[in-house]
Structure 1
């Protein structure tokens, strides 16, 4: 199994930044406790506060897939429906 790095970019509607941020913050503690999570760090763009980015490291793609199917992510999606204008996700591998 090779380690998997995820870069997830979330762009909120201008009037929904606080809502999206609050919902993203709820994901951190529960996700960091998941099996396979090495790191799970949320960032907010200094020039554009509507742009958030998660930088994540997982022990394997399989364990990340389990995370993606967890209830807390489904709850986040439901809570932010209509508040996110763009979401991109990149699965990446470190080059040693």
Structure 2
């Protein structure tokens, strides 16, 4: 099993930026408790606050799939249209670290070693 990085992007309905941020914030605690969650962080666009993104790290694709199957994520996916005009666009990545160990990958930055965290 190898670590998976997920980038999930969303575009809010006009005027729904704050409500959408609260909606996504409610997913943090239960997702952080899911097995295999190494990082689950929401971000808002600086130049366009309607753009929101989750940056995630999961210990394995299997554990990510378990997370997606949880009630809190399935319920959220059903409500996405209430807050977002587009998304989620979800793309899975594998790390291709390079350069300085603690700057060449998200995992390396998190652990300060350039290697995925033990899980």
User: Same fold per TM (> 0.5)?
Assistant: yes
Matches for 1:16-55 after TM superposition, within 5 Å: 16-55=16-55
Q: Aligned with 2:48: secondary structure?
A: coil
Deviation at 1:69, TM superposition (A): 1.1
Unaligned runs of 5+ in 1: none
Q: For 1:22 and 1:68, how far apart are their aligned partners in 2? A: 20
Aligned residues: 96
Q: For 1:77 and 1:15, how far apart are their aligned partners in 2? A: 20
Q: For 1:89 and 1:81, how far apart are their aligned partners in 2? A: 15
RMSD: 1.3
Matching residue of 1:77? 77
Q: For 2:47 and 2:73, how far apart are their aligned partners in 1? A: 27
Unaligned runs of 5+ in 2: 98-119
Matching residue of 2:111? none
Of the structure 1 ranges 66-75 and 48-57, higher mean CA displacement relative to structure 2 is found in: 66-75
Structure 2 length normalisation: TM-score? 0.75
Structure 1 length normalisation: TM-score? 0.91
Which structure carries more strand by proportion?
1
